[in-house]
Structure 1
Amino acid sequence: MSIKSLIRTIPDYPKTGIMFRDITTLFGDAEGLREVVDTLAGEFQGQKIDVIAGIEARGFIIGPAVALALGVGFIPIRKQGKLPAKTISVEYDLEYGSDIIEMHVDAVKPGQRVLILDDLIATGGTALAAIDLIEKAGAVPVSCAFIIDLPDIGGAARIRERGVPVFTLVEFEGD
């Protein structure tokens, strides 16, 4: 069974016109989950990755498994106010307003090579903010990896234009 076939589509969620790509069904399938971890780890095996940064919240689910497979550490990138120690932050624009993501100031060391991981790339706003955050800490964003790409929305292209490679497992056309 393919990874794509294990992803449930829920129409009109969270609002009318949106086709929500639900990965809980993928994560609930042991073979599908193993394929995701093995494929992501295989893509970056042999590249010098020092740490994986997972974006809240679904990046927290797959990130540690891929980090273990690569033999590297894992750090969380969270929404503002969720981390207990001193943080650095980046504010970024949303469709209607803005948001802030943070990580601990000591999460990465200058020069470390970081793989940024999340479940889905749509507009790219959060991933681009994560790149800014990693660079602000003096580390190097080596690549961004996602299970799902929504290429019609253009986020992966925006990240590539920024000079950071993007790897995705499946694509869904449209929104």
Structure 2
Amino acid sequence: MSPNVSLEEVKSGLRRALTWHGDRPDRHRYADVTGWWRRPELLANLGPALAGLFADRPPTVVIGPESRGCLLGPLVALHLGVGFVEVRKNRAGCIDSDAWLRRTTPPDYRDRHLSLGFRRRLVGGGDRALFVDDWIETGGQAHGARLLTEDAGATWLGAATVVDALRGNRVRRELDVRSLLHLREL
């Protein structure tokens, strides 16, 4: 974060830039976070704010799922001076000769089982991987990414997210989820 911006100011900016669509009791109600990307001052501070959640456990690589993890992850990686690895979803047969690690997730927030993967050569045994995404609701994608990380022989540090919408503590503890905001703060 820039020296003149506090974590509370970042959180306040996130709340102001988020829009809800639908009525509260509507089960199809959803959060529109696209306003976060439109505000350059907020965007500039998201990487440092998320990185700060794991200041006690510095990574050697940041991993993030398509699509928003691929937007936020590089911001965190850039701030930390480490690389970024994209976790692809439902990648069809690869046309390249690179080896891929793949895992199927437990159900995600839409009750889908996704196939996650990344190129094997990008994460190795000496790496400490930090997972970054915008929102965590079931932990399915983070769990799949953790298994991929372990398959690569790397160490899982945890998951840094903007919003924690988990309903219980079990997944939060298992994955070491740390977030800027909890759903109830929105």
Structures share fold, TM-score greater than 0.5? yes
Which of 125, 139, 149 is the equivalent residue of 2:154? 139
2:101 aligns with 88
Match of 1:9 in 2: 20
Output the CA distance in 1 between the equivalents of 2:76 and 2:119: 21
Give the TM-score normalised by structure 1. Answer: 0.84
Judging changes above 3 Å, is the alpha-carbon distance between structure 1 residues 65 and 129 closer, same or farther for their aligned structure 2 residues? same
Amino acid at match of 1:73: G
Higher strand share: 1
Alignment length (residue pairs): 167
Separation in 2, partners of 1:166, 1:93? 17
Determine whether 1:150 maps to 2:165. Answer: yes
- 2:53·2:160 contact (CA, 8 Å) conserved in 1? no
Task: Say whether the 8 Å CA contact 1:124–1:158 is kept in structure 2.
Answer: no
CA change 1:97–1:35 in 2 (3 A) is closer
Q: Is the 8 A contact 2:102 2:116 kept in 1?
A: yes
> 1:167 aligned to 2:167?
no
1:113 maps to what in 2?
128
Structure 1 unaligned spans of 5+: none
Give the greater-gyration-radius structure (CA). 2
Aligned-pair identity in percent equals 31
Q: Which amino acid aligns with 1:72?
A: V
Counterpart in the other structure of 2:42:
32
Report the more deviating stretch, 46-55 or 82-91: 82-91
Any gaps of 5 or more consecutive residues in structure 2?
Answer: 1-8
- Name the TM-score, length of structure 2 as normaliser: 0.80
The answer on whether the counterparts of 1:8 and 1:22 sit within 8 Å (CA) in structure 2 is: yes
After superposition, the C-alpha distances for 1:104-132 in whole angstroms (9 at most, x for unaligned) are 11120113100001110001111111111
Indicate the structure with greater helix content.
Answer: 2
Return the letter of the residue paired with 1:22: D
What RMSD, in angstroms, separates the aligned Cα atoms of the two structures? 2.2
Match of 1:72 in 2: 82
Q: Deviations over 1:73-116 (max 9, x none)?
A: 00001113266532111112326552211111112011310000
